[in-house]
Amino acid sequence: MESKGGFIFLLILAVLCRSGHSLTCYACIDSETCNKTTVCSVNHDACLLVKADPKLFYRQCWKFDDCSYLSISKALGLKKLEYSCCQKDLCNGSARVSGMTALMLFPLLAAALTLCL
């Protein structure tokens, strides 16, 4: 009887203690379009998208704590860049991060302007 109770305990423990999910990011350098993916290592917990002049694109796994202009600029040797860090699978695919943000903000700004007038 004890072995049956121990087995149930181990089964419940196994279900509750599932292994952690690794992040999957796009991984391309110098390519505006990217189809190559990679599973990030344990210490890389973010996907990075960098746009730099002239038309350079970097997509790779990154450490979220290092998602700052200074860290990215120093690591990649770039001075002028735009970057985006995210923590969902394949979230660094779109090179139009800034454009989409602007499109979403435009109706909000128009509504705010209408209320002020």
pTM of the model: 0.64
Instruction: Report whether 61 contacts 40 (CB < 8 A).
Output: yes
pLDDT digits (tens, 9 = 90+) for 26-82: 999 987 889 999 999 999 999 999 999 878 999 999 999 999 999 999 999 999 999
Residue 82: Cβ within 10 Å count: 13
Instruction: Report whether 57 contacts 51 (CB < 8 A).
Output: yes
Instruction: Compute the distance between CA of residue 87 and CA of residue 25 in angstroms, rounded to an integer.
Output: 9
Read off the tokens for 65. 């704590």
Four-residue CA torsion sign, 71, 77, 81, 85: negative
Which homologous superfamily does the CATH classification assign to the domain defined by 23-116? CD59 (2.10.60.10)
Instruction: Report whether 62 contacts 48 (CB < 8 A).
Output: yes
